[in-house]
Amino acid sequence: MQYKKTNKLANVYGFDPQSGCYSFTQDKREYLSLYDELFQQDEAPLEIRPIGEFLYLWYACFGKLEVYLNKEILCSVEKNTYLIDGESLYVGHYFVFDEYNLMNPITGEFLLSSHIPYELYVEDDVIIAYDNLRKKEIRRIDNSTEVLWQFPLSSLGYLESNPGEIDKVDKILGVAYGKIWFYTDFWRLIALDLENGEQIYSLDCLGVNWDRRTGNIFAIASNIIIIIDTEKLAIIEQYNFQESDPE
């Protein structure tokens, strides 16, 4: 497939290739291109993300969220929201600085019985909470915030260059085949068993990407791209940069 450049734009904030919507700044003004219509705004959305049939526009200043359906605005939450990892309909909601919950922005209903001091991720009926600063752990909880299991991040071990410093969750990738996958600040790809929280996979790598279509994870380790089968916990393909392009 061949691509042809049709336009070039600097200072872009958010961009969704699926809908073609984007936001940007120009001459100290902020703009939103929404379904081929251009609007000047007091604040342009920092993130534009498709969630199923909906389009989420998130504004950083006050944590405002707008939800569009069929090119029309469906609803909005004026403040205190943030987008979470993954493709869930839910968004994060903070009551105070360090108290979080999950909100359905269309109904306004909260998923948890109360706000808790943990960052959150949800996929289907799996709720994951993690705290990088105080408890330094990742845990699975239910809607009543009861802890089903917890995994201390200190058990991941330390780096020789950072002795005594505990690793942090950088990004929750998702749930597949009874495992929760996440990536850490110390460049580790980790999988925990959803039933008991035990670590069942670890790989040192410089970046990861979850392919939701296949369920595989792409990781970069040194000069090699690795494809990991999340069901078999096995590397099924790998490509060496130097072999394909010695230059």
The CATH number of the domain holding residue 160 is: 2.40.128.630
pLDDT of residue 170: 97
Phi then psi dihedrals of residue 6, to 5 deg: -110, -20
What is the C-alpha separation between 111 and 117, in angstroms, rounded? 15
CB 203 within 8 A of CB 218: no
CB 117 within 8 A of CB 94: no
pLDDT of residue 6: 63
Look at residue 200 and tell me if it is in a domain: yes
What is the CA angle 137-177-181, rounded to 5? 30
pLDDT of residue 247: 58
Look at residue 169 and tell me if it is in a domain: yes
Phi then psi dihedrals of residue 244, to 5 deg: -80, -30
Look at residue 174 and tell me if it is in a domain: yes
Contacts of 235 (CB under 8 A, 6+ apart): 226, 227, 228, 229
Token representation of residue 14? 């958010």
β-strand 179-184 against 188-193: which pairing, if any? antiparallel
Residue 191 is classified by DSSP as E
Q: Give the predicted TM-score (pTM) of the model.
A: 0.90
Look at residue 180 and tell me if it is in a domain: yes
Measured in Å, how far apart are the chain's first and last C-alpha atoms?
25
Please tell me whether residue 233 adopts helix, strand or coil conformation.
Answer: coil
Look at residue 172 and tell me if it is in a domain: yes
Q: What residues form DSSP beta bridges with 120?
A: 129
Mean pLDDT, the chain, rounded, equals 92
Look at residue 85 and tell me if it is in a domain: no
pLDDT of residue 231: 95
CB 243 within 8 A of CB 207: no
pLDDT above 90 covers what percent of the chain? 82
Q: In a 10 Å sphere around its CB, with 0-12 CB exposed, 13-18 middle and 19+ buried, how is residue 65 labelled?
A: buried
Q: In a 10 Å sphere around its CB, with 0-12 CB exposed, 13-18 middle and 19+ buried, how is residue 201 labelled?
A: middle
Residue 217's H or E segment, with its range, is: strand 217-221
Please state the domain count of the chain: 1
CB 33 within 8 A of CB 23: yes
The parent domain of residue 182 ranges over 123-247
Look at residue 228 and tell me if it is in a domain: yes
pLDDT of residue 97: 74
Look at residue 103 and tell me if it is in a domain: no
pLDDT of residue 240: 87
Query: Could you read off the pLDDT of 139-168 as tens digits, one per residue?
Result: 999 999 999 999 999 999 988 777 889 999
What is the C-alpha separation between 61 and 197, in angstroms, rounded? 36
Contacts of 231 (CB under 8 A, 6+ apart): 176, 177, 215
pLDDT of residue 95: 85
Which residue, among 41, 18, 38, has the nearest Cα to 30 in the 3D structure?
41
pLDDT of residue 242: 66
Question: Mean pLDDT in each 10-residue stretch from start to end of the chain (247 residues)?
Answer: 65 92 94 94 96 96 96 96 94 90 97 97 96 96 98 91 88 96 97 98 94 92 91 93 61
pLDDT of residue 115: 96
